[in-house]
Structure 1
């Protein structure tokens, strides 16, 4: 058997096969390089990672008459408006990257945020009404009056618990369970689980969408952040820091 192996001469590959394999290898390398470059440019580091949601007891939350939710210290020198849809992937990404930096500025009293929630992605949820129900849940928790509780609830719904478009979403009972984890009292849990504010949320979401369309010249898109009537470019990595200098 050893003689058989020593006398064996491998057949050379044809030049056609060699060229084909070479082309495949080059193509694979090109794809790997492209993906690496793209990820390097698109992936933004989480700002203030590890800080968490706003947690200072001096932070207040208020459910405003138009359904907007104001979170911050009463004397905060600047208030920004953040328009979001609870299903919106880009909203979730913005909250993931900048939410903790925003939270720290809120705790420090440098910034207040008015969350203006819209529901134009309802149809892309499996239940066909998730955005509206999530807005109603946000309003229930905000009406409970605890800034840190609302901040934690909002953060979870827009990051780890945000459903994907077309994917399974949270029932009212599951939304109430998240409110319980955030520390909301029983009265708030009842408000969430029974959908007590769903009709009001539907109305406020329509009004908010109209306001966003007016600000953007007729085309509503989320996330959109405004300092007064000035739209903030949230693609700039230091936008939160710039706002609070």
Structure 2
């Protein structure tokens, strides 16, 4: 093989590598696909958070919302974080408009992937503490923070109860909710509720995989970028 041919092939290979790097960079950027970027979390005080004491589900929305969806998440799940980053603000706006309510089911199958070995459970308990106060805007902001900028990475350092309490403070939670988190008041209940959510997800989905979004018994394809709009037409 001539040196000219070698150089030519080398040039083609280099060009392909550059192209792959560029495409990977573009595909890896979440902010190019964030829906309603800049809207933020729920603002409307008519949006309420309702904690079901029996099963731990958290219903967030306007009391008269015509559509309610069920969302299954693990606080440590990276894909759940991506769902919140990309669609959370669009969902929040639909909640504010009274068009959509969300019933959150929080599971804890990633506990063992956290450094503390119980992060997901403690985060579920913290969600229940904040939701119990009833404020939709406060819970929405707490949920947003917990699944985006404050979400730990699998296998890395996670948040202590005091850290979780500080996130609640940042979201505007009451002193009662902050003390509930720091003291672990809802930890035992969260363990039971997470098991119930896992069983419900297995029944609905056939497996424990998050995030999972359901409109009634119909599983929503969250890879369809218009799924929130389609649900609220």
Report the number of matched residues: 230
User: How many angstroms apart in 2 are the aligned matches of 1:22 and 1:123?
Assistant: 51
Determine whether 1:52 maps to 2:57. Answer: no
**1: CA distance, partners of 2:6 / 2:76:** 46
Max radius of gyration: which structure? 1
1:34 corresponds to 2:23: no
Aligned-partner Cα distance in 2 for 1:143–1:212: 23
> How far off its partner does 1:209 sit?
0.5
Alignment deviations for residues 119-172 of structure 1 (CA, whole Å, 9 cap, x no partner): 000000111100000000000000011111000000000011111110111100
The one of 224, 227, 232 aligned to 1:239: 227
- Give the 3 Å change call, closer, same or farther, for CA 182–30 of structure 1 in structure 2: same
Whether 1:130 and 2:119 are equivalent positions in the alignment is yes
Equivalent residue of 1:220, what SS? coil
- Equivalent residue, structure 1, for 2:105: 116
CA distance in 2, matches of 1:41, 1:201: 36
In the TM superposition, structure 1's runs of 4+ consecutive aligned residues that sit over 4 Å from their partners are 18-22, 38-44
Give 1:99's aligned residue.
88
Distance 1:227 1:32 in 2: 42
Counterpart CA distance in 2 for 1:131 and 1:153 is 15
SS at match of 1:161: coil
What is the CA-CA distance between 1:19 and the residue it aligns to?
Answer: 5.2
**Residue 166 of structure 2 is aligned to residue 177 of structure 1:** yes
- Separation in structure 1 between the aligned mates of residue 149 and residue 130 of structure 2, nearest angstrom: 18
Could you report, residue by residue, the CA deviation over 1:62-92 in whole angstroms, capped at 9, with x for unpaired residues?
0012101000000000100000000111110
Q: Which runs of 5+ in 2 are unaligned?
A: none
Please name the residue that 1:223 is paired with: 211
Please report the TM-score for the alignment, with normalisation by the length of structure 2.
0.94
Q: CA deviation at 1:185?
A: 1.1
Aligned pair partner of 2:130 in 117, 126, 141: 141
How far apart are 1:34 and its partner, in Å?
2.7
Paired with 1:47 and 1:113, the residues of 2 have a C-alpha distance of 17
Q: CA RMSD in A?
A: 1.7
Distance 1:175 1:186 in 2: 13
Give 1:223 deviation, angstroms.
0.3
**Structure 1 unmatched ranges of 5 or more:** 1-13
